[in-house]
Amino acid sequence: MNRIRILSSLAVLGFVLVACSKPPPDDADAGAVVSAAVAQTESADVMRKWSQSCALCHVTGAAGAPMVGDVAAWAPRLAQGKGVLLKHTIEGYNSMPPLGYCMSCEEEDFSAMIDFMAGESQ
């Protein structure tokens, strides 16, 4: 539970730092600052979900799960296409349970998590 509090606090701190940095010179820049803060908050939420579900197997490689950042292990999976990976994630595949233990995740969350684990995130 402490990790959740720490991650939540870091997300809020990141939002505050972005939002309270130099004041934007015009309204267009203000929109960009808000968009960046929202993106950071959403990213923190996805990473929280990832750490509570996917990390269980994808950090250690348990049950044959491809490990985070292992480009060689992810390459043949990515070659199947994102649609196949999402289908396997949502429906379950081999030792991976449906939804990968993340009952609160949406398809966009899973897509971002796959990108992160495969080293494809921006």
Whether the predicted model's global pTM rises above the 0.85 cut: no
Residue 77 burial (C-beta neighbours within 10 Å; 0-12, 13-18, 19+): middle
* pLDDT band with cut points at 50, 70 and 90 for residue 42: confident
| Cα–Cα separations (whole angstroms), residue 118 to 27, 29, 67, 76 | 37, 33, 8, 11
Question: 55-118 belongs to which homologous superfamily?
Answer: Cytochrome c-like domain (1.10.760.10)
d(CA 113, CA 119): 10
Across-strand partners of 93? Answer: 96
Per-residue pLDDT, 7: 45
Question: Helices 107-118 and 82-91 meet at what angle, rounded to 10?
Answer: 120
Taking the C-alpha atoms of residue 3 and residue 121, their distance in angstroms, rounded to an integer, is 23
Q: Is the pLDDT score of 8 beyond 60?
A: no
pLDDT at 17 over 50: no
Mean pLDDT score of the chain: 80
The string of pLDDT tens digits covering residues 48-104 is 999 999 999 999 999 999 999 999 999 999 999 999 999 999 999 999 999 999 999
pLDDT at residue number 74: 96
pLDDT at 5 over 70: no
